[in-house]
Amino acid sequence: MATNAATIELQTGDEARETTAISPARLIGRRFLRNKLAIAGGVLLILLYLSALFADFIAPIPYTDVHEDYVFVPPQLPRFLDEQGNFHLRPFVYGLDSALDMDTFRFVYSEIHEAKYPIKFFVEGYEYKLFGLIPFNRHLYGVDEPGVFYLLGSDDLGHDMVARVFMGARISLTIGLVGVILTIIFGATLGTISGFYGGGLDTMIQRVIEFLMSFPAIPLWAALAAAMPPNWSPLQRFFAISVILSLIEWTGLARQVRAKVLSFREMEYTLAARAAGASDARIIFRHMLPNAFSHIIVVATLAIPGMILAETALSFLGLGIQPPQTSWGALLKQAQLVSVLLQQPWLLIPAFFVIAAVLTFNFVGDGLRDAVDPYSL
């Protein structure tokens, strides 16, 4: 039975349906949308970045505020039932009373049932700049003074862990993106040059890559981070760490792009372009990189979790982000003692955010890899 050449048949399970010819980008999008795990990871990833973007709005108090009277406060869960069993439509928390434990020399907190503090939403608080531009003083939640509400507890200086976690997300999540952008620039450029021109230039680039890959990652990162001047601003330190993290990561991408370009170099369309008098730059930017772009995007997506873990490791070792700035790795540095974990287990909460970010990036990366691979099921 004759069919229109402008139609293709898409098979989904046992059903087949006809549709008009679509571009490869739309085909990749449809294949990606069929991966439920990748979609769930993408949604969670968007939520993580939105929470980092609106960290000041979510945080009830500034993440740098020190409260010596509320050190190591356990997480306070919102309540709807009071001690008498009465139900309250608006959630509330009790006031806190502290006492010094003479055995452990730590503060022990007890609830003051006579003092109830309703949790209010979209309350006024400290002023900040929304998106770094718009003066704003509204926050997601809060309680009236003298009440306090530490949803995720507090640390050794009385910092609110909610504020610290979401402000730390700005550093940890952004440093992965910046590091991967630099990785793509270094890896795609040098990998393409190495595979396209070959010869002595290829040999030199490959020896440099092997030299960098021979170093253990953590000692090299630690040495480079320790060499940074201590008087650098947080912004300078941030970009320096991004460059440090990308110094090693670009080597793997360069090797993979080189292999792709070596195969593209012998393709008919490349030989035809060369025979037609196309310049090297046109062949590279018109034929080589566009064909390798889908692979580069997938590799970059899967490399972001490694960047996040590397920044976490550097900050955990005290060589990354320094106070008063914070990141997930800097927060986990407080939880490295067994005694702290036994008595203040809520300090491990940033680890769950690291795990969530790494898993979501991996899910999205796997979904993209399957979507761009025409032979995947």
Predicted confidence (pLDDT) per residue in 60-75, tens digit = 888 888 888 888 899 9
More confident site: 19 or 323: 323
For residues 93-106, average pLDDT = 81
Quick one: pLDDT band at residue 288, thresholds 50, 70, 90? confident
Whether the predicted pLDDT of 46 surpasses 90: yes
Q: Residue 244: what pLDDT?
A: 74
Quick one: pLDDT band at residue 223, thresholds 50, 70, 90? confident
Q: Residue 16: what pLDDT?
A: 42
Strands 134-142 and 120-130: antiparallel
Q: Residue 11: what pLDDT?
A: 45
pLDDT tens for each residue of 134-170: 888 899 999 988 888 999 999 888 899 999 999 989 8
Other CB atoms within 10 A of residue 342 CB? 8
Mean pLDDT of all residues in the chain? 81
For residues 171-189, average pLDDT = 83
For residues 65-94, average pLDDT = 88
Structure token pair of residue 80: 């709807």
Q: Which of 240, 239, 254, 248 is nearest to 184 (CA)?
A: 254
Return all residues near 351 (Cβ < 8 A) that are at least 6 apart: 328, 332, 335
Q: Residue 54: what pLDDT?
A: 92
For residues 298-312, average pLDDT = 77
For residues 164-184, average pLDDT = 85
More confident site: 224 or 374: 224
Return all residues near 212 (Cβ < 8 A) that are at least 6 apart: 247, 248, 251
Using CA atoms, how far apart are residues 190 and 196, in angstroms rounded to an integer? 10
Whether the predicted pLDDT of 49 surpasses 80: yes
Q: Residue 340: what pLDDT?
A: 74
Q: Which of 321, 326, 351 is nearest to 241 (CA)?
A: 321
Q: Residue 140: what pLDDT?
A: 92
Q: Residue 373: what pLDDT?
A: 66
More confident site: 264 or 101: 264
pTM over 0.85: no
For residues 197-217, average pLDDT = 84
Q: Residue 39: what pLDDT?
A: 92
pLDDT tens for each residue of 314-349: 777 667 777 777 888 888 877 777 777 778 889 889
Q: Residue 18: what pLDDT?
A: 41
For residues 178-199, average pLDDT = 84
Q: Residue 318: what pLDDT?
A: 67
